[in-house]
Amino acid sequence: MHMADALLSPAVGGIMWAVSAGTIALGSAQLRREQDDRQASLMGVLGAFLFAAQMINFSIPGTGSSGHLGGGLLLAVLLGPSASFLTIASVLVVQALFFADGGLLALGCNIFNLGVIPSFLVYPFLYRVLSKGGISKGDRHLAEPVPGGAPGKWRETAAVMISALVAMQLGSLAVVLETGLSGISSLPLERFLLLMQPIHLAIGAVEGAVTVAILSFVRKARPELLRRAPAGNAWRSRFAVLLAFLVIALVTGGFLSQLASKNPDGLEWSLSKAGGKVAAPGAGEGVHGLLAQLQEKSAWFPDYAVKRAAPRPLPRGAGALPDAASAVPGVVGTILTLALVCVAGALLKKGKERVETPDA
């Protein structure tokens, strides 16, 4: 479920980076306030644990496929929101740098989808409410762990399952929205949604089942571990602020990308505004308003292909079909540049080797 750089536009990627960076700053500040000197080593090794756990699989009966732990909810239950969020975010950073799961620009999206959602949305607003049931209205009481107040077994199971399902649904919804807003993929929004949500319903169910099983194991073996997670109520108010910030950022982002899309190209447009010079060789090729396009696609979705194939004028701004004469330089240039790059790389490498070999 990792979002990828290649599907992202700079605007969406940048906004999500800002949101995730902001959350990391808030989470770090929160940890500093808690001043628990055990926390650092615990979070570090639990992050490593999560990393290892995600590489171990189990077979799902009757399906022939296998699943593994995602771990967001598990960590939130064990560590509380801030610590679990930072732990997940750190795992994602390592995955981005070493396995390129996602990528650097998409890191912001991934941290949001897999970290912020389970730790700061689902855990405090859903899991704690469900697992503590009756007393959820009096938030203050929850701040102190209720002695012996472990939720009943069924209630706990239900709370974990529901939370895992919701976290996964929200996560995949976020992926769909981020992809859609970026407008690199042409997949219509609701097709994508119809594809992603059911898959993540299944993934969420698996995640829930694994989390329930591990938590009940821990509860039997070392129940005291489950009592140390801070309640995270302080987070609700703080998170409301963050959420407002996020909404504003998204609206601004949406507005900006719509604005940009009416012009040849976002970056070029703003540069030409700034410098007064338009250097847009590619501007003739079709550029579509991202949001407008999404809307339109969803409007005539069912017979999309038919209409598209009909000889109707090309929609907004798409340049006339380039004839062969103007296309040839592009193709020839592509091949030539590619060759040039390869040759340059090989020469550099050769040059390096030659510099080193003389003394051999």
Partner 1 sequence: MASISAALLDLKRLDQLASGTTFLHRLDARAKVLATLVFIVCVVSFDRYQISPLIPFLIFPAFLIAVGELPTRYLLGKVALVAPFAIAVGICNPYFDRQLLLQLGALRVTGGWLSFASIVLRTGLTVGAVFTLTALTGFPAICRALQRLGMPRPFALQLMFLYRYLFVLAEEGGRAAKARELRCFGRKGSGLKSYASLLGHLLLRTWQRAERMHMSMLARGFSGTFPEQVKARLRFADVAFLSIWVFLCIALRLSNVTHSVGALFTGLLP
Within residues 160-199, the interface with partner 1 by CB under 8 A covers 179, 183-188, 191-192
Of 84, 90, 113, 263, which one interacts with partner 1 (CB under 8 A)? 90
Binding flag, residue 340, partner 1 (CB under 8 A): yes
> Cα(294)–Cα(327) distance, rounded to whole angstroms?
28
- DSSP-derived secondary structure for 35-89: --TTHHHHHHHHHHHHHHHTT--EEPTTTS-EE----HHHHHHHH-HHHHHHHHH
What is the footprint of partner 1 within residues 316-335 (CB under 8 A)? 318, 321-324, 327-334
Among the candidate windows 41-49, 133-141, 152-160, 197-205, which touches partner 1 by CB under 8 A? 41-49
Q: Output 120 or 142, the one with its CB closest to partner 1.
A: 120
**Shortest Cβ distance from residue 151 to partner 1 (Å)?**
19
- Asked if 52 touches partner 1 (CB under 8 A), the answer is yes
Count of residues engaged in binding partner 1, rule: CB under 8 A: 119
| Binding segment (CB under 8 A) for partner 1, from list 120-128, 157-165, 243-251, 340-348 | 340-348
| CB proximity list for 142: less than 8 A, separation 6 or greater | 128, 132, 135, 136, 231, 233
Structure tokens at 217: 């194991």
Site for partner 1 in 197-256 (CB under 8 A): 209-210, 213-214, 217-218, 221-222, 225
Quick one: three-class SS letters along 187-217? CCHHHHHHHHHHHHHHHHHHHHHHHHHHHHH
Least distance between partner 1 and beta carbon 220 (Å): 9
305 by Cβ neighbours in 10 Å (0-12 / 13-18 / 19+) ranks as exposed
C-beta of 14 vs 145, nearer to partner 1: 14
